[in-house]
Amino acid sequence: MKIYDYSGRANISGDRIHQARTAQRLSQDVLAAKMQVYGVGLGREAISRIETGDRFVTDYELAIFARVLGVSLVWLTGDLEQKE
């Protein structure tokens, strides 16, 4: 499967995931554990790669990130015009 990038990144939500995680003072390990409670098996390394834009995020992962971090999907995807 070919995964495309957007402005050199594999996702547009990594910055917002990082912002929400650090605002709540969660480590990447703790966020990974919270994601696993909802059935999404991500490790610390995967979360790191998502936050830096090096890893693609699936729709179901994005939905669980929003739930765990207490933010909306719209907020996580941000305003695309600001990313360009």
Using one digit for the tens of pLDDT, what is the confidence trace for 21-74? Answer: 999 999 999 999 999 999 999 999 999 999 999 999 999 999 999 999 999 999
In eight-state DSSP terms, residue 25 is: T
Q: Tell me if the pTM is above 0.85.
A: yes
Q: Give the residue ranges of DSSP H helices in the chain.
A: 14-23, 28-37, 44-51, 59-69, 73-77, 80-83
Residue 5 pLDDT: 81
Distance in angstroms (rounded) separating the CA atoms of residues 6 and 59: 16
Asked if 49 and 1 count as a contact pair (C-beta separation under 8 A), the reply is no
Question: Residue 51 burial by CB count (10 A; 0-12/13-18/19+): exposed, middle or buried?
Answer: buried
